[in-house]
Amino acid sequence: MEQSSHTEPILKLEKVSYQYRNQYTAVDAVKDVSTEFCEGKMYAIIGKSGSGKSTLLSLMAGLALPSEGQVIYRGTATDSVDLDKYRRENVAVVYQSFNLFPLMTCLENVCFPLELLGMNPKEAAITAKEFIEHVNLPDSVYKRFPNMISGGEKQRVGIARALASGAKVILADEPTGNLDIANGEKIVQLLRDLAHKDNYTVIIVTHDMSITQVVDEVMRMSDGYLLPLVTEGWE
């Protein structure tokens, strides 16, 4: 049987620019960015505050379309797909502030994307439990609400929910920003395992320079541009 090759990137940016504008002014937040991301790899995007990292992530997440250029997922540009479906099924975002649904239990949080995919509640609960186990959380979190678990546990629930959506691309904006060093390291290790063992593509935007030591590739944004990494003079 022919082996499928993974040389084609799962996500590709071609000359992507993005401008925020209102009637008074315009901000060029992302400028002419071209790059690609492959399956099974973990990437870090670093750069100063305001350099365009979150904006770039939101373009990859399908939360906005580029002003110019294209974000291409498995060969198809996000400007020619059903963007709601793309956001629901193809990419998942993990946030610094976790963004769990506060009025749902942890189990319900993870069931949510599964039910959106059409699973009945019973099936969804069974599958959600598998994802919760996969991120190394105990059964005891199922019935707790997000305010009844620790920050590290919340982030794991956030990741379990991301996986439950079926997305193979995980976009994480400062996923360790609200965690202490030890918990941050554990979350990074989990994300790394998801890339290296389960073939996810993990893209982490971060100020945490220790993350750059454990990823496969580091990219740096500066004033909207994505630059080749120069190891001197990082901030």
Ligand X SMILES: Nc1ncnc2c1ncn2[C@@H]1O[C@H](COP(=O)(O)OP(=O)(O)OP(=O)(O)O)[C@@H](O)[C@H]1O
Q: Report what 51 binds from ligand X, Mg ion, none; CB cut-off 5-8 Å by kind.
A: ligand X
By rule CB under 5 A, what string of x and - marks binding of each residue 172-211 to Mg ion? ----------------------------------------
Overall residue count recorded for the chain in this entry: 235
Q: Does 54 bind Mg ion (CB under 5 A)?
A: yes
Choose which of 9, 52, 158, 184 interacts with ligand X (CB under 6 A).
Answer: 52
Q: Which of 120, 105, 124 is nearest to 165 (CA)?
A: 124
**Helix 106-116, helix 151-164: angle, nearest 10:** 20
Q: Does 53 bind ligand X (CB under 6 A)?
A: yes
The answer to whether the beta carbons of residues 196 and 22 sit under 8 Å apart is no
The number of angstroms, rounded, from the C-alpha of 59 to the middle of its chain's C-alpha atoms is 12
The stretch near Mg ion (CB under 5 A) out of 23-31, 47-55, 66-74, 80-88 is 47-55
The answer to whether the beta carbons of residues 8 and 68 sit under 8 Å apart is no
Q: Report what 159 binds from Mg ion, ligand X, none; CB cut-off 5-8 Å by kind.
A: none
Token pair 């749902």 is at which residue? 104
Q: Does 105 bind ligand X (CB under 6 A)?
A: no
**Which is nearer to ligand X, 13 or 128 (by Cβ)?**
13
| Cα atoms in the 13 Å half-sphere on the side-chain side of 223 | 0
Choose which of 16, 41, 54, 190 interacts with ligand X (CB under 6 A).
Answer: 54
Give the 3-state secondary structure of residue 137. coil
What's the min distance (Å) between Cβ of 218 and ligand X? 15
- Using CA atoms, how far apart are residues 144 and 84, in angstroms rounded to an integer? 29
Choose which of 47, 69, 146, 152 interacts with ligand X (CB under 6 A).
Answer: 47
- Using CA atoms, how far apart are residues 147 and 203, in angstroms rounded to an integer? 27
Q: Report what 105 binds from Mg ion, ligand X, none; CB cut-off 5-8 Å by kind.
A: none
The stretch near ligand X (CB under 6 A) out of 51-59, 82-90, 121-129, 138-146 is 51-59
Choose which of 49, 80, 120, 231 interacts with ligand X (CB under 6 A).
Answer: 49
235 burial via Cβ count (<10 Å: 0-12, 13-18, 19+): exposed
Name the residues that contact ligand X, by CB under 6 A: 20, 27, 29, 47, 49-55
Which stretches of the chain bind Mg ion, using CB under 5 A?
54
